[in-house]
Amino acid sequence: MTEYTEYTFPADYNKSNTYTITQPKLSNWTCYAFGGDASFSPMTWVPQEGKVPNAWVRFWSKVFFDCNWVKNK
């Protein structure tokens, strides 16, 4: 036998509120992971604006994981 619990909103909850989801701005860098390129990549990643890895990190991700970093125009 399953017992059900009823949940209620707090008394001060305003049901007329609207909620929106805002997406972060993306940078103009794209990472094609694991040897991919613009024509085909098993996985791509576009970091958020202001959170792009520096040249040192991009270099070693190329060496160890064969990631191709491309700066889009």
The predicted-structure confidence for 16-38, as pLDDT tens digits, reads as follows: 666 778 889 999 999 998 888 87
49: containing domain: 29-71
pTM of the model: 0.64
Contact 48, 26 (CB under 8 A): yes
| Residue 24 lies inside a defined structural domain of this protein | no
Largest CA distance in the chain: 61
Determine the pLDDT at residue 14.
67
Asked if residue 59 belongs to a domain, the reply is: yes
Number of domains in the chain: 1
The phi, psi pair for 63, rounded to 5°, reads -65, -50
- Would residue 65 count as lying in a domain? yes
Cβ atoms < 10 Å from Cβ of 23: 6
